[in-house]
Amino acid sequence: MDYGNYGNQYGSTSFGGQVGGMGGGMGGGGFVASQNSPSGGGRNYENSSLRPVTIKQLLDAQMADGSEEFTIDSRAIDQITFVGQVSNISAQSVRITYRLDDGTGIIEVKVFSPTEGDHVTSRPNVEENSYVRVIGKLKSFQNKRHVGAHIIRPVTDFNEISYHLLEAATVHLYFKHGPPGAKDTSGSAGNMSGVQQGGVATGGAGGGVSLGADGLPPGLSAAARKVYHTLSNTPQSNEGLHLQDIANKLHMDAAQVGRAGDELLEMGLIYTTVDDTTWAILSRDTLF
- Cα Rg of the chain (Å, integer): 21
What percentage of the chain has pLDDT greater than the value 70? 64
Q: Taking the CA of residue 209 as centre, how many other CA atoms within 13 Å lie in the half-sphere pointing to its CB? A: 17
Domain boundary assignment for the chain: 3-163, 202-287
For 169-198, what is the mean pLDDT?
A: 61
Give whichever of 25-39, 195-209, 219-233 has the largest mean pLDDT. 219-233
> Which strand ranges, in their side-by-side order, compose the sheet holding 270-272?
241-242, 278-281, 270-272
* Fold classified for 202-287: Arc Repressor Mutant, subunit A (1.10.10)
At 244, give phi and psi (nearest 5°): -65, -35
Chain mean pLDDT for the chain? 73
Q: Taking the CA of residue 140 as centre, how many other CA atoms within 13 Å lie in the half-sphere pointing to its CB? A: 16
Catalogue the E-assigned strands of the chain: 50-52, 62-63, 70-72, 75-76, 79-91, 95-101, 106-112, 131-141, 144-154, 241-242, 270-272, 278-281
Q: Which residue has the higher pLDDT, 40 or 50?
A: 50
Greatest pairwise CA separation for the chain in angstroms: 73
Options 1.20.1630.10, 3.30.420.40, 2.40.50.140, 3.40.50.10320; CATH for 3-163 is 2.40.50.140
Report pLDDT digits (tens) over 107-117: 999 998 765 44
pTM: 0.52
